[in-house]
Structure formats: structure tokens, C-alpha cells
Chain A
Amino acid sequence: MFRLNLKIALRNLWKNRIYTTINIGGLAIALAAFIVVVLYVTYETSYDKDLPNYDRIYLVGRSLPDSKTDYTPAPLSKLIKDSFQEVEAVGRARNTWFEFPLNTARGRVYSNKAIQLDLETAKMFEIWPDKRLIETKSMMLEMYVPSLFRKELFPNEKVSFPRLVGIGSKKAGQTVEIKGIINRSDEHSNLKFDILALGKDISFGDQDYGTNNFQTYIQVRKGTDIGALQQKIDLLYKKELIKSGVPAADPRIAGRSVIFLDPLKNLHLKPMAGTDTNNRMVIALFWLSVLIMVIACINFTNLTIVQATKRAKEVGMKKVMGAYRIDLIVQFIVEIYIQCCVAMVLGLIMTEVLLPVFNTQFNLPLSLLNGDSALLWQLPLILFVITAISGVYPAFVLSGYKPASVLKGNLQTSYKTFWLRNALLAGQFSIAVIFIVGLFIINDQLKYMRTEDTGFKTGQVVYIKNIQFYNKPKDFDQARARIIKIPGVNHVTVSSDIPDGSKPGTSIYKLSNKALSLDFLDVDFDYFETLNIKLKEGRFFSRDFYADSVNSAIINETAAARYGLVNPVGKIIRGCDMDYKIVGVIKDFKAQGFERAVEPAIYAIKNPCNNRKTKIIVNIDQNRMAAVLATLKSQWSDINKLDGEDFRYEFLDELYGRLFKKQEQLQSVFFFAAILTIFIAILGLFAFSAFTTNNRIKEISIRKILGATDLQMFKLLNVFFIWIVLIANLIAWPLVYLLARQWLAMFAYRIDMPFFPFLIAGIVSITLTLLTVTIQAGKVVKMSPVDALKYE
């Protein structure tokens, strides 16, 4: 019997190929999107999950009066280790966010996330190379590199460790001993590293509770009451602080709990010391994809029921031949299950195709075949759930037909949940409209950000990476002279910060008794010329004025306005323990992107606050760019002797463009979501209109006999759906308006809420509706009334 039913099912599906394709295709596309999101969510929620003690590792953090941080003092770890039985292991980590090269005779790699770890921490995170280390008596730090570096440092070479490699510039001749290779990668870990310095005590006995430079990780015994432990650590920590001289009434510790324990599983998505934006994004994406999936399933159901009339006879006949209802239910569910299986296979194929796009866009290493066992239970579960959602209802409806009525030949399928279907359709279109409008608004804002005047020109500016400090102008003179000599170079300068969106340091500056926190940037001559920043009053720094490298400063418009200065040039401003004389005011420029309003800023050549001037920027003639870069590359080790062998540069406009990355990602999410939701809404409409049109065949035939034209018929069939889509638009517009307003509010510089996206979404949705319904209705309207009205 199963074989026969299967045969019937396949013949049926073949006979209604178009429906079948739409049905399975629609489900497959939604499934593909869903699987991608499930992969993404699984990946995002499983950082470090492979660690054996994953559930028992916590990061110790401190809550300050207005923020939370995970930086803790060095002696805290020993204190916890010595005081609490329930803590199995304690270890510290310390980041050195500084880029430097490692050299061998054959290769060179740059490290920018070197990290120091206590051996205990390394053990907790399974990044320790062998047991010998743990027993070492040496207090020295030992260097390890991840296996990723091995190939680049020692290409085609068998290496034995320990091994000496150069660090920094070759000419400087510094070396460091690498003890071995670490196999664990940091890609899917909360600890980010590319060079590891492991040691018994990375603080070298630091007992200071005042400076907080370390992350402290603890691993607790099974069954530990974390709340109680947190309290105990908190009390002890405050006691130590007070012992070290902090007054007990200090607002930082008095009357509040400072120490918190943040479980490892939360660190990636919702660390207490950080934002939970990622987490919210993951959750939103997940529910969005669930929504799309459910809507796709419901569409599947609708499309199945639309075709039900064709199966009614089979049901009736089988019943009078002696089939139990349950037999029929099973038959239909199996049929739908088979379709879901096919959809699943197609979906997986699409996922495989889609993943590379998704991965590049979001910079992820997702893959279907990476041996991730989670998919092994997720896929069957998804299959089961979608079969249930899309199969149970049609199976019950179809198997419920009364033979007496279906076999008489005048079946009227009444649909009691009519309002539900209308609501569903309107809902689908609302979602589609939200995404269409959203997509256009994001596009507009991005276009604005790309074309709007930022106040400086990035087009022909190249940023050269450099590890040498050029704090005094004369240090840089030699390099500058060499660079400026290259034909095509217009300006060159060095500074502590460049307009790449990062936030410079801030400090308090006082001007006639008004103290303000200003961004301060340490620059060299020609900084403003290089970036093409406009002057408002006074002058730029100039070598003609000796004082400029001693105590001259330039402020921006915003700073002048905040101080309430009418004529700022010549005024004295005090900060970093010295007095500056303002020599110029520049026009504001959007150094930090479009999200933050321009901050008040001060620029000076002399830098007692001691920020390091390392960032070299060069303004080059656009049409001689290639030649200049080639020259710089070939002469670099000569020009900048202390930096290193590599000329590493980036175009400033690309660097600045990276600030838009998040919005671009959002744009592509919206793009895919818009396509998908439109597609699904059209499917739903297709099913619905097929259903109602088929139900009205008789009515249409009679109207035709009474003299209605085809056009009138199309109008008749379309009007209802146009209404639904209009209502969907009316529901969606205010919603998307509010959402978009909230999104735009993120930007200090933004477009006015555009009107066109709403109009476009309305036109697109109505046009698509007209097309779908008209194509669907065409068959019926063209049909001869005789066929429809003939009584069988």
C-alpha cells in the first residue's frame, strides 16, 4: 500500500509540476535562509564551547560607578586562589595591542594581538603546548606562535623548537626565542591571540591594587554557588583595596558590589563589560528567520489545500473502499514529508551556494561540512517541525472530506478561517513592505555617507603603517625630506591619529575658567594640508613660526563654539600641564564617521600628554599614485630605518569606508530579507488567489454569460487583493517609519526621512499583486463558461 500511495503522490506532484515547483522551491529557499541563520546562531553561541570546563569558567570583572570593565588588578588572582576552596584554577591574561613583525630568514608575519597568559589561563583555554611547561620553575615568559604562523615563518622547512626569530626591524637586530607551536586557533575563541607569551606569573609579582591591567579568569568546582562566591570575592577585594589605602567611603566601592563573575558562555555575545548588541542581533536574526520559515510553511499549507479539490475524489473513493481516516492522514503527511525532504535537500544545496556570500559579507567561517555535530540533530528537528507545521492541517482537512458530498461531484470547499487567511496575507505583505522601505532608506543613508562632504579629502591620501615614534618634528625631518622629494607627493605628515573613525584620547583643557574635555591630537606640520581640511580663522602650523613646535595649538569650530569664543585666535588655552596659544581655527570635519557628531578637538605639535606620533599620511597626486607607491616601497627601509622591511600602507578612503561596514552588512541583510519576503508574499498571494479564483469559476462563468468583459472580470478578481495589499502598506508604513527613524537617530549626520521609499514599496507591492492575480485569473477568465457550468 505504501508503494502505491507513493506512486500516486509522485504522479500527482508531476501532474501539478508548476505548483509542486513553487511549493517545494518556496520552502527550500526559506529553509536555505533558515539553515544559514541556524549555522550562524550556532556558531555565535558556541565560542569556546569545546573546552572541557566550558560551564565552569568565569571572567572576573569590576563595575565602576558608570560602567563595567573586565580589567582587574594583578594580585587579585592570587588572592582568589588562596582564599577560596571552590575555585579550581585562576589565571590572568594581558593584551598588548601593538603591531610588530616577526622575521626569519625566509618569512615575516605581523602580529597585532600578542597576548600574555598565566600558565593556568592557558591550561583553562587548552592553549598550552605540553605538560613540561606547567612544571617549569622559570619565571621567564616563553613565546609560542599558532600553527597558522608556522608556514609563513618557515616555508618548506622542518623546524625544531626552541628557535630564534627576529622581532621588529631587522636592522634593530632584536631576537626572541619561540618555544613551540600552539595548535589551537583563536578564531572561535574569546581569547584572541597570534603570539602567546606564557609564564608562571605574567605580573612578575605585581602587588598593586590600584592599576587594573589584567583579565582574571577563574575555573570553579562543580556545583559552586556563583552568587555566593561573587559576594565573597567582592568583600575580600574591597578589604584589600582599603588595606592599600583607598578610603572605605570612596564612592567607587562604598555601598555597592564591585566584583562580578561573567560566565564564559556569555563573553562573546553579551559580556557584562561590553555591549549585548551582538546578542540582540543574533536573537533578532533568529526570530526573523523563524518567522520567515513559519510563513513559508503556512504558504505551503495553503498551496496544498488549494489543490485539495483535485484530491477530494481520491479521498472519497478510498473511504468507500474501506480506508480509515488515519490511513489517509498518514498518507498525506508522508506525501508532505517527502516534499519537505526534497525542499530540505534543495535548501542545503542553496545554503552551500549562499554561504560563501554570507561568509564574506560577515567575515565568518561558516560551513555545512565542518563536522559540526549540532547540524546532525538540528536538521532532522527542522524537518520534523516544518513537516508538522505544513502537513498536519492539510492532512486533517483533506482526510476529512465526506464521501457523500465529494462523490456527488459538486464539491464546495468552504474555508472557515477566511479572516485568518486575509490577515496572513496582509501580514506577509506588511513584512515585505517593511523590508523594501527599509532597504531603500538604508541605501539612501549609505549613499549620503559616501557622497556627503566630510570636511576633508581622503581620495589621494595614503596611510603608512609605522612602528617608529616621531614625537618631535625634527625626528621626522629626514624621513619627510626623502618622501617629499618623490615626484607626485604633495604633502606628508605624521600624527597620533588619523581620520579613520577611531576616537582620539581626551583630556581636560581650560580656557578663561571654562574647562572642557577635548579630543587632543598630536600632529606634525602639514597635517591639515595633507588632509585638505579647511581653515576658518587664523592660520595652519607653519615652520616659519618657531613657537608652533613649542606652544601653538589649533582648535576646531566646535571647540571654539563650546568655549563661547568670538575671536579665538591669540587666546591662551591650558591643558596637559602647559599653556597653548591658539593660532587657528579649522572647519569641522567628520573624522569619526557619521554616527558621532564632531567632537571639540585641539591639535598641537608639542605633546606633553605624550601620545605617540606613529601614523604617517601622504598626499599623493592621483595620477602618479602607482609610481609613488612603488618608489616608496623600494626605498622604505632606507627612508624609515627603524620601522622594518615592509612598506605597509592603506588608502585612507578605504579605511574610512570601513566605518560603513556595519551599515553595508545591514544593507545586505535587508536586501536578502526583502527578496525573500517579497517572494514568500507572492507565493502566498498566488495560493490565495488560485484558491478564490477557482472557487469563483461558476460565478465568473455566469457573469460572462451575462455579458461581462474580460477586463471587468480581471478587475473583479484583482480588487480584493489590491485592498489587502493597500492595507498591508498602511500597516507597514508607520511601523517602518518608526523603525527607520530610530535607526537614523543613530547617525549624527543623516538624511531627512525620505518619502520615495514608501511610495516605491507601495507601487512595487501593488504591481506584483496585479501581475500575480492577473496571471492566475487569466486561465479562468479565458475558460469557456460551458465547461464550468456543465453538470457532471
Chain B
Amino acid sequence: MIELKNIEKYYANKGVKSYILRHVTTSIKEGEFVSIMGPSGAGKSTLLNILGMLEDPTYGEYEFMGENITSLNERKRIELYRNHIGFVFQAYHLIDEMTVAENIEAPLLYKKIGGSERKSRVADVLDRFNMVAKKDLFPNQLSGGQQQLVGIARALVAQPSIILADEPTGNLQSAQALQIMDLFKKLNEEEGITIVQVTHSEINAGYGSRILHLLDGVIKEDVATTV
């Protein structure tokens, strides 16, 4: 599904290159649950941003579902967002002015899905996440864990093939964090959704099938977890 070849990312400052990522080459297959780990400043988030096409690599090749991303135009890229990629953020990034239901509905609007189907899909997701009662609340009326649930529901409603999660539990208490990780695992196993998450926590990483250890922009280790 994802092929990275020799990805480099650096910022040139007065002729001095400061590298974020170096020679990153890896591939992620469909249905994998990959955790990217490493200390602060290792380049985890940058790698995830590159995977999510939010940032361009300075150098290297990136193929997403057989398409070369580096030569992709803006429109195609947006098509990929609409149809294949769901994002989950540490800070949830729900839109404050939208209710829970509206937040979940938003991606469907861009997919140009008809009104009745939107309603049923949103209802479906709300139901699955046990949030029907909260659908008319605004994000600031929810707890952090609930907000992150909405964030994931929003990512899922468009039925993406991959979810990119940047420290999804970083702002949560441990009980809520476990709940979220259970959810990811379930999604991965039951629905076959590919998941790539950045995390600090060994425990969270343990939920996945594979761990990429990053240090100073270089992949130090690429191990399968033992389940």
C-alpha cells in the first residue's frame, strides 16, 4: 500500500542542512497496524505528515496505492484525502463551531455523498460509538476521550483505507487511552483498515502488528510485535 524509497527531509539554514529524516525506506502493506516510535525530535511526526501528504519530502520516492505521490497534483491528492485517508490528531482538532454530528458529517460533504446516505452513515457511526445522546453537543462540552472518539468517528465515516494517527492518546488519561487503542485494534482486525500511529507509549505500540523505531531521522529498528 505504501512504498517509501530513500525519503529525506531537511531544512537548509545558511547553507547548513539540518536533517529531520534520512534514508527512510520502508513499505507498509494493506491491513497492517504500524506504530512509529522514538524520542522527541526523532522525526516521527514529520514521517507521518509525509505519509499523509501534509508535507513533501525533500528527496525520495513515495508511492501510495501504486501512485507516485511526489508527482501528484493538488487535485489528485485531495481525491486521496477524500477517499482513502483518515486523520486522527493528538489535539483532536474538532471544529469548535460544529456539533458532534456535524463534525462527523463534514468529510462526507466533500465526498459529495447524498443527504439521506449521509444521515444514515452518521447515525450508524454515532450508534457504533455510543454517542447518539451527544450528537448535538459541541466539542467543548465533551471530555477529552469523548472528543477523541468523535475525531476517530470523523476519520472513519468516510470509510478510508488507512488511518494516520498522530499520538492519538497523547492528551488522554490512561483508561481513555486504552479504550481508544482497543478501538483501533478492533478496526484493524475486523474491518481490515490499515493504521499508522505515532506514539510514545510502549503499551500503545504493543497494540500494533509492527513497530518502526526512529532515532535522529533514521529507522533504527523495524520489528513485528509478538502477540
Residues of A participating in the B interface, judged by any CB pair closer than 8 Å: 1, 4, 7-8, 11-12, 15, 313-314, 316-325, 327, 402-404, 407-409, 792
Taking the nearest CB of chain A, how far is it from the CB of B104, in angstroms?
A: 11
Against A, the Cβ 8 Å flags (1 = close, 0 = not) of B64-95 are: 00000000001100110111010101010111
| A and B contact pairs by CB, cutoff 8 A, 14 listed | A4-B106, A7-B97, A11-B97, A313-B95, A317-B94, A319-B81, A320-B85, A321-B154, A322-B81, A322-B83, A322-B111, A324-B78, A404-B54, A409-B91
Are B110 and A320 within 8 A (Cβ)?
A: no
Q: Pick the residue among A11, A321, A407 that contacts B81 (CB under 8 A).
A: A321
What is the minimal beta-carbon distance from A349 to any residue of chain B, in angstroms?
A: 28
CA distance A561 to B85 in the complex (A): 98
B107 interface contact, C-beta 8 A: yes
Since A317-B95, A322-B107 are in contact, a sample of 13 more A-B pairs with Cβ atoms closer than 8 Å, ordered by chain A residue number, is A8-B98, A314-B95, A314-B97, A316-B93, A318-B106, A320-B52, A321-B82, A322-B110, A322-B111, A322-B158, A323-B78, A404-B54, A409-B91
Point out the residue from A323, A325, A792 that lies within 8 Å of B91, measured CB to CB.
Answer: A792
Alpha-carbon distance A15/B102, docked complex (angstroms)? 18
Does A15 lie within 8 Å of B54, measured CB to CB? no
Q: Which residues of B have CB within 8 Å of A317?
A: 93-95, 106
Out of B81, B105, B109, B111, name the residue touching A320 (CB < 8 Å): B81
**Nearest residue, chain B, Cβ from A8:** B97
Cβ of B89 and Cβ of A407 under 8 Å apart? yes
CB distance from B195 to the nearest CB of A (A): 16
Across chains A and B, which 5 residue pairs bring their CB atoms closest together, nearest first? A322-B82, A404-B54, A322-B110, A322-B81, A11-B97
Instruction: Give the distance to chain B from A707, nearest Cβ to Cβ, in Å.
Output: 29
B166 to A, closest residue via Cβ: A407
Per the bound structure, the CA–CA distance linking A320 and B89 in Å amounts to 11
Report the bound CA distance from A591 to B107 in whole Å. Answer: 81
B45, CB-defined interface residue at 8 Å? yes
- Residues in A whose Cβ lies below 8 Å from that of B107: 321-322
Determine the chain B residues whose CB is within 8 A of the CB of A324 once the complex forms.
75, 78
Residue numbers of B with Cβ under 8 A of A are 45, 49, 52, 54-55, 74-75, 78-79, 81-83, 85, 87, 89, 91, 93-98, 102, 105-107, 109-111, 154, 158, 171
Nearest-CB distance from B23 to chain A (Å)?
22
Tell me the nearest residue of chain B to A316, going by C-beta.
B93
Chain A's nearest CB lies how many Å from the CB of B197? 16
Report the bound CA distance from A792 to B110 in whole Å: 28
Given A4-B102, A404-B49, A404-B54, decide whether A323 and B97 contact each other with a Cβ distance below 8 A: no
Using Cβ atoms and an 8 Å threshold, which residues of chain A touch B95? 8, 313-314, 317-318
Which residues of chain B have C-beta atoms less than 8 A from A323's C-beta?
78, 110
The listed residue (B55, B75, B79, B93) touching A313 by CB distance below 8 A is B93
Give the Cβ gap from B110 to chain A, nearest Cβ, in Å.
Answer: 4
Interchain CA distance A409-B93 in the complex, whole Å: 9
Bound-state CA distance A15–B49 (Å) is 32
Chain B proximity of A242: nearest CB distance (Å): 82
Contact A321 B91 (CB under 8 A): no
Q: In whole angstroms, what is the CA distance A325 to B74 when docked?
A: 10
A730 to chain B, nearest CB (A): 39
Tell me if A's interface is mostly helix, strand, loop or mixed: helix
Please name all residues of chain B whose beta carbon is closer than 8 Å to the beta carbon of A314 when the two chains form the complex.
95-97
Q: Cα distance A313–B98 when bound, in Å? A: 13
CB-contact partner of A408 in B45, B81, B111, B171, under 8 A: B45
> In whole Å, how far is B9's beta carbon from the nearest beta carbon of chain A?
12
CA of A323 to CA of B81, assembled, Å: 9
* CB proximity of A317 to chain B, nearest CB, Å: 5
Contact in complex: A320, B87 (CB < 8 Å):
yes
Contact yes or no, A7 B102, CB < 8 A: yes
Instruction: With both chains docked as a complex, state the minimum distance between the C-beta of A95 and any C-beta of chain B, in angstroms.
Output: 68
In the assembly, what is the distance between CA of A322 and CA of B97, in Å? 19
- Taking the closest CB of chain A, its distance from the CB of B81, in whole angstroms, is 4
Flag if A4 contacts B87 (CB, 8 Å).
no
A663 to chain B, nearest CB (A): 53
Q: How many angstroms between the C-alpha atoms of A322 and B49 in the bound complex?
A: 15
Residues of B within 8 A of A7 (CB): 97-98, 102
CA distance A317 to B106 in the complex (A): 10
Alpha-carbon gap, A317 to B104, bound state (A): 12
Q: Are A404 and B93 in contact (CB under 8 A)?
A: no
Residues of B within 8 A of A8 (CB): 95, 97-98
A4 & B78 in contact (Cβ 8 Å cutoff): no
Q: A792: nearest residue on chain B (CB-CB)? A: B91
Residue of A nearest to B108 (CB): A321
Cβ distance A427 to chain B, nearest Cβ, rounded Å: 35
Q: For B98, what are the chain A residues with a Cβ–Cβ distance below 8 Å?
A: 4, 7-8
Known: A8-B98, A314-B95. A321 touches B106 (CB 8 A): yes
Find A1's partner among B79, B89, B94, B109 (CB 8 Å cutoff): B109
A270 to B109, CA, bound (A): 59
Given contacts A8-B97, A12-B97, A314-B95, contact A403 B106 (CB under 8 A): no
B54 contacts across to A, CB distance below 8 A: 320, 402-404, 407
Instruction: Kindly name the residue among A1, A322, A408 whose own CB sees the greatest number of chain B CB atoms within 10 A.
Output: A322
Across-interface contacts of B154 in A (CB, < 8 A): 321
Closest chain A residue, CB of each to CB of B83 = A322
Query: In the assembled complex, which residues on chain B have CB atoms less than 8 Å from the CB atom of A316?
Result: 93
- How many angstroms between the C-alpha atoms of A104 and B73 in the bound complex? 88
A320 (CB) vs chain B CBs: closest residue: B87
Of the candidates B91, B97, B106, the one whose C-beta lies within 8 Å of that of A15 is B97
- Cα separation A396 to B83 with both chains bound (whole Å): 26
Contact A407 B78 (CB under 8 A): no
A403: chain B residues at CB < 8 Å are: 54
Residues of chain B within 8 A (CB-CB) of A325 are: 74
Minimum CB distance partner of B154 in chain A = A321
Q: Which of A4, A320, A327, A404 touches B55 (beta carbons < 8 Å)?
A: A404
- Residues of B within 8 Å of A12, CB to CB, are 97
Q: Which residues of A contact B171 (CB under 8 A)?
A: 792
- Write the chain B residue with the least CB distance to A325: B74
C-alpha spacing A319/B83, complex, angstroms: 13
Contacts of B93 in A (CB 8 A): 313, 316-317, 407
A634 to B95 alpha-carbon distance, docked (Å): 82
Set of chain A residues within 8 Å of B91, measured between Cβ atoms: 407, 409, 792
Chain B residues with CB under 8 A of A404: 49, 54-55
Q: Which residues of A contact B75 (CB under 8 A)?
A: 324
Complex-state Cα separation, A523 to B95, whole angstroms: 86
